[in-house]
Amino acid sequence: MQVLALETGFAQVHGRGETRRIRTTLVGECMVGDWLLAFIDDAREIISPERALEVNATLDLLQDVMNGALTTGDTAAGFRLPSSMSAADLQRLTGQA
């Protein structure tokens, strides 16, 4: 979600068709225009615009599957599944590298 406005400890954000007020305590200082990874009513991470596009594309894919628009074999995942990654890739993914 993208930050529209700020107040102490909170941000007004917009994304995925909705505008919400979320807590920013976990991410610290952010600025109008920043992209936040949000879960329920909390910002979990400040992310790049490129990462926001990746997250939204993944959520779009999941929503299509949940709505029955995609079925097995209709499309490949838009990302590498952990089961196809090397041990080194998994360590980088989990922050252990």
pLDDT tens per residue across span 18-30: 999 999 999 999 9
Q: Which sequence spans correspond to the domains of the chain?
A: 2-47, 50-97
Amino acid at 67: N
Q: Which CATH number fits domain 2-47: 2.30.30.140, 2.60.120.10, 3.30.470.20, 3.60.21.70?
A: 2.30.30.140
Contact between 33 and 52 under an 8 Å Cβ cutoff? The reply is no
Backbone angles phi, psi at 2, to 5 degrees: -100, 135
pLDDT in tens, 30-70: 999 999 999 999 999 999 999 998 888 888 888 877 777 65
Structure tokens given for 60: 């779009």
How much is the pLDDT for 30? 96
Determine contact, residues 11/43, Cβ cutoff 8 Å. yes
- pLDDT of 55: 87
Predicted pLDDT of residue 79: 61
Number of residues written out for the chain: 97
Over 60: is that where the pLDDT of 75 sits? Answer: no
* Exposure string over 32-41, b if 16+ CB within 10 A, otherwise e: eebbbbbeee
Residue 67: the pLDDT is 79
- Band (pLDDT 50/70/90 cuts) for residue 13 is very high
One-letter amino acid for residue 48 of the chain? S
